[in-house]
């Protein structure tokens, strides 16, 4: 039996590929026609080929609670998510605008703090921020850029509007899945790439290399770039090794490096010590340098911050960049864009309520059953309350947490996340998804073509995080047809 | 000089040592299974010899009460309590490769990972004689595909030398152990020089090293103890002889920095091999010589570890070594 899209409906939600009448959107028509023409056995064969390739290639996402088995296949749904190029160009401009403003904001916070003096941003938010690093005050990295690699989560609401859900400025992951998904789709559906005009994604690693190379303290020579990973037990280890391999960089762990008396960073090689110019670190600030941050960290390098402040090594993302990766700071981003750039935000924020604000707080506490409440500094979907789906006891417990530490919480209305057709059993059903494009900035700005589409594989679920059982889709930006 | 992290060099080295060990064990089992079919009833040769050759007899006795074929097969092929079982070796090689994914061609990881998945699901079937040959041959084929890929798709740079070092040190060690099989089995029966069992056994040894054809072409169609031992230890051309391995190790070391100390130890091993009077050597004496060669190889390994891997082991490396 062939895949049947004719009865597919996404109900109240905006669907990326099929409209409310059940008609494929113009940019999805070729895909839907083609998939409908494949019989069930053929489709299953292709799906099995993808699953087998994922297992063989070891594209895995470690889940901490999995115990002895540290690999887990990261499911790829073979029906892509498609966006027309015109819409994408608009989003791309919005992402560049946003990261530019955020970097100006971080530079300002660690230096003149004009935005606070001008009364646009409240000082007490900085005072309560876990990610504001006093050790960075007075420092200005090259190009004034702190967050060189940003993963921005976008969602689409019921009316079709795309919002920024959060800015990941610390160590965002997922870009390798975007690249591998495309490679797998090309292997398994080569004919689709002839039928549809799909923009390529694979220049990312080259652009990442250029972005990092621009940070070298020894311009003119080919820089020695290292990707610093916490090691094979980290959930994104696959990505760390993948990116290092693709860039021709060295994959290092903390104990591979040392800072010598000259305040330069060296790696330990079979031929003695060799200087490193740029570190793409995938280790959190807290663990980066036991001399400056957590003294018990075995993942970092003693003296690394010293070497960076002396300008002897480039670090991406810079220590302290995470100050802008905070769900409370997030609510100020539209103001931040207006303040530094004098422009209106191209992509809107999701309307948000700050618990530090008395009026907002009482609104949040009165409407816990209708809102999604998030802690300011968690990522990966940990620690949030989905009000409409929580029990009364969970809401009561959360209420106390908010009252104890209002600075640390913000709330948003429950979004009607958009859907796309996803294989389920023998048929196809709507599943919720988001989109994480990656934005690069050093001497220039770059946005991936599309990004990583994460999909909640369980029916009705809104949690797309890979650490919580989500899957992914290839993301196609297509020329209009 | 290309930049090779000490940690990476060490992982490359162990990855190939374990791949080589898995291949050797698979060959040894297949060759032994064939030899056993030809032996007359009551011959003194048994499965326990495999344990002695691999130096695993003690560990086996700790884990099993009976030395029967089923137990020995399980122990050598799938038992994870035996760090040298085929499954354990491939698992360790895979873990090493996991930490190396940027240093080796990505296809190598795919192949090792898929071999790991294969042995996990299929290796237990090697317990049945009718399926053993096919399963082990497939493992050998896949291991060779990995080695072939590394040799063909990786730059033969400094990092590659560690891949070769791991392979040839492991291989030289295994060849000395296999040649020593004679001492392990037949010492008490040595009175009859042309005991046909001995001929069958040496034929099995040659086959386990894939050396039977080339021995016949280059040495003799007759299988004589001294000829076989001489060939497997001293022939410079066949890639599994001790001499060939020593030559390869020397070439690898020559391509590395700071190679004085390990090269010195290599020459000690070479002199010992040269001095072995094979024609007149009784099995017991040969056993002592071979033991000494194994110790020489262990010393070379220790020196390589000290010279190239240890910088990583020390949390605060000597700053005097700093070079920009």
Q: Do A269 and B114 touch (CB under 8 A)?
A: no
Q: Are B168 and B289 in contact (CB under 8 A)?
A: no
Q: Find tokens 């033969």 and name the residue.
A: B156
DSSP assignments along A170-184, one per residue: SS---HHHHHHHHHH
Given A397, A413, A429, which residue is the final one in a domain?
Answer: A413
Residue A391 lies inside a defined structural domain of this protein: yes
Residues A269, B106: C-beta atoms closer than 8 Å? no
Q: Give pLDDT tens digits for A51-98.
A: 888 877 766 555 443 333 444 557 899 999 999 999 999 999 999 999
Residue (of A346, A447, A380) closest to A92 by Cα position: A447
Q: Residue B318's pLDDT band (boundaries 50, 70, 90)?
A: very low
Best of A235, A242, A269 to disrupt the B interface (most B CBs within 10 Å) is A269
User: Is residue A74 domain-resident?
Assistant: no
Smallest Cα distance from A53 to chain B, Å? 9
- Chain B residue at shortest CA distance from A248: B102
Which residues from B are below 8 Å from A255, CB to CB? Answer: 7, 312, 315
d(CA B162, CA B54): 23
Backbone angle region of A143, left / alpha / beta, with phi > 0 → left and psi within -120 to 50 → alpha? left
Q: What is the pLDDT of residue B184?
A: 61
Nearest CA to B294 out of B134, B200, B178 is that of B178
How far A259 CA sits from the closest chain B CA (Å)? Answer: 9
CA dist B128 to B21, B60, B122, Å? 22, 20, 12
Residues of A with CB under 8 A from a CB of B: 55-58, 224, 227, 231-232, 237-238, 241-242, 244-245, 249-253, 255-256, 258, 260-262, 264, 266-275
- Closest approach of B268 to chain A, Cα-based (Å): 24
Give the residue on B whose Cα is nearest the Cα of A246: B102
In a domain, A464, yes or no: no
- CATH code at A406? 3.30.1490.270
Model confidence pLDDT, tens digit, residues A95-149: 999 999 999 999 999 999 999 999 999 998 888 888 899 999 999 999 999 999 9
Report pLDDT digits (tens) over B127-180: 888 899 999 999 999 999 999 999 999 999 999 999 999 999 999 999 998 888
| C-beta separation of A162 from A155 below 8 A | yes
Q: Are B117 and A252 in contact (CB < 8 Å)? A: no
CATH of the domain at A114: 3.40.50.11290
Contact check, Cβ <8 Å, B315/A269 = no
What ipTM goes with this model? 0.74
Residues with Cβ within 8 Å of A420's Cβ and at least 6 positions away in sequence, in order, are A15, A16, A17, A79, A81, A430, A431, A433, A453, A455, A473
Q: Can you say whether the dihedral through the CA atoms of B107, B109, B110, B116 is positive or negative? A: positive
Interchain contact, A268 vs B315, CB within 8 Å: no
Give the least confident one: A68-72, A423-427, B44-48.
A68-72
* Å between B168 CA and nearest CA of chain A: 19
Distances (CA, A) of B116 to B19, B91, B109, B163: 11, 6, 10, 19
Q: CA A268, CA B313: separation in Å to the nearest integer?
A: 10
Answer yes or no: are the C-beta atoms of A260 and A279 closer than 8 Å: no
The separation between CA A40 and the C-alpha centre of its own chain, rounded to angstroms, equals 35
What one-character DSSP code corresponds to residue A20?
T
> How many angstroms separate the CA of residue A478 from the nearest CA in chain B?
30
- Going by the DSSP 8-state scheme, the letter that residue A160 receives in this structure is S
Query: Does residue A370 share a domain with residue A254?
Result: no
Contact A15, A470 (CB under 8 A): no
Query: For A208-238, what is each residue's pLDDT tens digit?
Result: 999 999 999 998 888 999 999 998 777 788 8
Q: Tell me the shortest Cα–Cα distance from B311 to chain A, in angstroms.
A: 6
For residue A301, give the chain B residue with the closest CA. Answer: B315
Give the A:B interface size as CB pairs under 8 Å: 102
Ranges A443-447, B110-114, B221-225, most confident: A443-447
Q: Best mutation site among B7, B94, B96, B321 for testing chain A: the one with the most A CBs within 10 Å?
A: B7
Chain A residues near residue B316 by CB distance under 8 angstroms: 258
- Predicted confidence at residue B321, as pLDDT, reads 39
> How far is A45 from A35, CA to CA, in rounded Å?
13
CB A471 within 8 A of CB A177: no
B113 with A57: Cβ contact below 8 A: yes
Decide if A284 is inside a domain: yes
- Residues of chain B in contact with residue A272, where contact means CB-CB under 8 angstroms, are 257, 311, 321-323
* Mean pLDDT (whole number) for A163-167: 94
pLDDT above 70 as % of chain A:
95
Q: Cα–Cα distance between A281 and A313 in angstroms, integer? A: 12
Dist. CA A132–CA A128, nearest whole Å: 8
Q: H helices then E strands: how many in chain A?
A: 15, 20
Reading the block at residue B300, the tokens are 């070379």
Q: Which residues of B touch A230 (CB under 8 A)?
A: none
Contact between A50 and A76 (Cβ < 8 Å): yes
**B186 to chain A nearest CA, in Å?**
45
pLDDT in tens, A351-361: 999 888 899 99
**Mean pLDDT throughout B196-210?**
84
Is the distance from CB of A423 to CB of A78 less than 8 angstroms? yes
**pLDDT digit string, tens, across residues B102-126:** 788 878 888 999 999 999 999 988 8
pTM for this entry: 0.81
Say yes or no: A223 and A313 in one domain.
yes
Contact A271 B1 (CB under 8 A): yes
* Contacts B109 to A, Cβ<8 Å: 57-58
Q: Is the C-alpha dihedral spanning A326, A332, A338, A344 positive or negative?
A: positive
Report the alpha-carbon angle B132-B137-B138, nearest 5: 105
Are both A249 and A316 inside the same structural domain?
yes
Does residue A293 belong to any structural domain of this protein?
yes
Share of chain A above pLDDT 90, in %: 65
Q: Which range among A19-28, A290-299, A330-339 shows the weakest confidence by mean pLDDT?
A: A290-299
Contact call for A258 and B316, based on CB within 8 A: yes
- What is the distance between the alpha carbons of residues A61 and A464, in angstroms, rounded to a whole number? 14
Which of A57, A58, A270 is opposite residue B308, by nearest beta carbon?
Answer: A270
Q: How far, in Å, CA of B207 to CA of B204, rounded?
A: 5
In this structure, the answer to whether residues A303 and A384 fall within a common structural domain is no
- Residue-number span of the structural domain to which A407 is assigned: 353-413
If one compares B20 and B98, the residue with the highest pLDDT of the two is B20
Same domain, A384 and A288: no
Q: Do A255 and A367 have their domain in common?
A: no
A407 and A325 in a common domain: no
**What would the mean pLDDT of A413-419 be, rounded to a whole number?**
91
**Exposure string over B47-85, b if 16+ CB within 10 A, otherwise e:** bbbbbbbbebeebbeeebeeeeeebbbbbbbbbeebebb
Candidate from B98, B103, B309 with C-beta closest to A232: B98
Of the candidate ranges A168-177, A193-202, A235-244, A460-469, the one whose mean pLDDT is the lowest? A460-469
Out of B102, B256, B316, whose CB is closest to A270? Answer: B256
Q: Which residue of A has its CA nearest to B4?
A: A269
pLDDT for the residue numbered A466: 60
What distance in Å separates the CA atoms of residue B294 and residue B170, rounded to the nearest whole number? 10
The alpha carbon of residue A221 is apart from the nearest alpha carbon of chain B, in Å, by: 13
Q: Can you tell me the distance from the alpha carbon of A85 to that of A27, in angstroms, rounded to the nearest whole number?
A: 10
Say how many domains are in chain A.
2
Mean confidence (pLDDT) of chain A: 90
Say if the Cβ atoms of A266 and B322 lie within 8 Å: yes
Q: Which of A184, A270, A278, A307 to mutate to test the interface with B (most CBs of B within 10 A)?
A: A270
- Please, where are the H alpha helices in A111-218? 114-117, 123-127, 175-188, 190-195, 204-213
Same domain, A241 and A276: yes
Is A88 in contact with A449 (CB distance < 8 Å)?
yes
Residues A44 and A17 sit within 8 Å (Cβ to Cβ): no
Is residue A58 one of the residues assigned to a domain? no
Same-domain pairing of A125 and A272: yes
Q: Pick from B95, B113, B158: which is nearest to A56 by CB?
A: B113
- State how far residue A219 is from chain B, nearest Cα, in angstroms: 15
State how far the Cα of A265 lies from the Cα of A259, in Å rounded to an integer: 4
B306 to chain A: nearest residue by CA?
A270
Question: Across the interface, which of A231, A244, A272 has its CB nearest the CB of B321?
Answer: A272
Final residue before a domain boundary, out of A385, A413, A441: A413
According to the model, what pLDDT value does residue B188 have? Answer: 47
Cross-chain Cβ contact A249/B102 below 8 Å: yes
CB contact under 8 A, B158 and A274: no
A144 lies in some domain: yes
Domain contains A421: no
Q: What is the pLDDT of residue B208?
A: 86
Point out the residue among A245, A256, A264 whose CB comes nearest to the CB of B312: A256
- Same domain for A371 and A281: no
Maximum Cα interatomic distance, chain B, rounded to a whole number of Å: 69
Cβ contact (<8 Å) for A270 and B6? yes
CB contact under 8 A, A256 and B6: yes
In this complex, the residue of B103, B117, B312 whose CB is nearest that of residue A268 is B312
Are A99 and A159 in the same domain?
Answer: yes
A231 and A288 part of one domain? yes
- Do A271 and B258 lie within an 8 Å CB cutoff? yes
Which among B9, B162, B317 has the least Cβ separation from residue A258? B317
| Partner residue opposite B117 with nearest CB, options A55, A242, A245 | A55
């Amino acid at each position: 039996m062939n895949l049947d899209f004719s009865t597919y409906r996404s109900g109240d939600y905006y669907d990326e590929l099929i409209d409310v009448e059940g008609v494929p959107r113009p940019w999805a028509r070729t895909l839907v026609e083609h998939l409908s023409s494949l019989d069930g056995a053929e489709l299953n064969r292709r799906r099995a080929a993808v699953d087998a390739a994922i297992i063989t290639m070891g594209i895995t996402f470690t889940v901490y609670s999995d115990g002895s088995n540290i690999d887990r296949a990261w499911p790829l749904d073979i029906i892509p998510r498609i966006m027309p190029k015109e819409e994408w160009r608009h989003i791309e401009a919005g992402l560049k605008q946003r990261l530019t403003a955020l970097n100006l904001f971080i530079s300002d916070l660690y230096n003149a703090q004009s935005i606070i003096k001008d009364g646009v941003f409240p000082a007490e938010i900085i005072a309560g921020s876990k990610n504001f690093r006093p050790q960075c005050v007075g420092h200005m990295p090259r190009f004034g850029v702190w967050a060189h690699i940003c993963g921005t989560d976008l969602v689409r609401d019921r009316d079709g509007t795309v919002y920024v859900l959060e800015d990941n400025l610390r160590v965002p992951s997922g870009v390798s899945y975007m690249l591998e998904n495309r490679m797998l789709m090309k292997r398994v559906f080569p004919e689709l790439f002839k039928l549809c005009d799909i923009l390529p994604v694979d220049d990312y690693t080259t652009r990442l290399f250029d972005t990092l190379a621009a940070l070298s303290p020894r311009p003119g020579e080919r820089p020695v770039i290292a990707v610093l990973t916490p090691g094979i037990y980290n959930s994104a280890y696959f990505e760390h090794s993948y990116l290092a391999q693709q860039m021709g960089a060295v994959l290092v762990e903390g104990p591979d490096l040392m800072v010598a008396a000259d305040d330069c960073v060296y790696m330990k090689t079979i031929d003695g010590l060799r200087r490193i110019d740029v570190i793409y670190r995938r280790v959190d600030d807290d663990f980066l340098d036991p001399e400056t941050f957590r003294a018990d960290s075995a993942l970092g390098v003693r003296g690394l911050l010293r070497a960076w402040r002396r300008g002897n090594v480039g670090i991406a993302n810079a220590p302290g960049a995470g100050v802008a990766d905070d769900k409370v700071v997030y609510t100020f981003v539209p103001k931040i864009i207006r303040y530094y750039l004098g422009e209106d935000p191209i992509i809107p924020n999701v309307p948000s309520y700050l618990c530090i604000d008395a009026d907002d707080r009482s609104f949040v506490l009165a409407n816990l059953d209708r809102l999604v409440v998030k802690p300011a500094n968690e990522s990966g979907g940990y620690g949030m309350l989905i009000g409409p789906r929580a029990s009364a006891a969970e809401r009561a417990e959360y209420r106390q947490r908010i009252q104890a530490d209002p600075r640390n919480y913000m709330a948003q209305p429950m979004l009607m996340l958009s859907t796309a057709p996803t294989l389920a059993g023998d048929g196809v059903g709507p599943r919720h998804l988001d989109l994480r494009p990656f934005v690069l900035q050093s001497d220039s700005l770059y946005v991936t073509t599309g990004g990583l589409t994460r999909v909640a594989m369980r029916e009705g679920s809104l949690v797309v995080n890979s650490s919580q059982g989500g899957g992914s889709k290839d993301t196609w930006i297509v020329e209009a047809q | 000089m290309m930049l090779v992290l000490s940690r990476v060099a060490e992982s490359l080295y162990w990855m190939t040592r374990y791949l080589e060990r898995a291949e050797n064990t698979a060959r040894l089992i297949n060759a032994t299974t064939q030899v056993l079919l030809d032996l007359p009833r009551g011959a003194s040769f048994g499965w326990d010899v495999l344990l002695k050759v691999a130096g695993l007899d003690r560990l086996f006795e700790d884990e099993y009460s009976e030395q029967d074929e089923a137990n020995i097969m399980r122990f050598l092929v799938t038992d994870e309590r035996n760090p040298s079982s085929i499954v354990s070796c491939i698992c360790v090689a895979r873990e090493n490769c996991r930490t190396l994914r940027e240093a080796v061609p990505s296809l190598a990881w795919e192949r090792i990972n898929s071999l790991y998945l294969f042995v996990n699901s299929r290796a237990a079937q090697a317990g049945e004689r009718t399926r053993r040959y096919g399963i082990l041959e497939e493992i050998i084929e896949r291991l060779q595909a990995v080695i072939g890929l590394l040799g063909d798709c990786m730059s033969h740079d400094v990092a590659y030398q560690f891949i070769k070092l791991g392979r040839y040190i492991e291989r030289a060690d295994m060849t000395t152990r296999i040649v020593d099989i004679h001492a392990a089995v037949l010492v008490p029966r040595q009175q009859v020089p042309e005991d046909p069992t001995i001929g069958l056994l040496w034929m099995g040894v040659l086959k386990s090293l894939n050396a039977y054809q080339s021995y016949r072409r280059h040495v003799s169609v007759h299988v004589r103890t001294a000829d076989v031992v001489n060939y497997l230890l001293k022939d410079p051309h066949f890639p599994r002889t001790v001499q060939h391995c020593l030559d390869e190790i020397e070439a690898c070391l020559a391509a590395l920095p700071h190679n004085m100390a390990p090269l010195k130890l290599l020459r000690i091993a070479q002199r010992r091999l040269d001095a072995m009077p094979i024609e007149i050597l009784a099995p017991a004496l040969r056993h002592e010589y071979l033991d000494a060669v194994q110790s020489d190889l262990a010393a070379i390994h220790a020196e390589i570890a000290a010279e190239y891997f240890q910088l990583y082991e020390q949390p605060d490396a000597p700053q005097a070594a700093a070079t920009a």
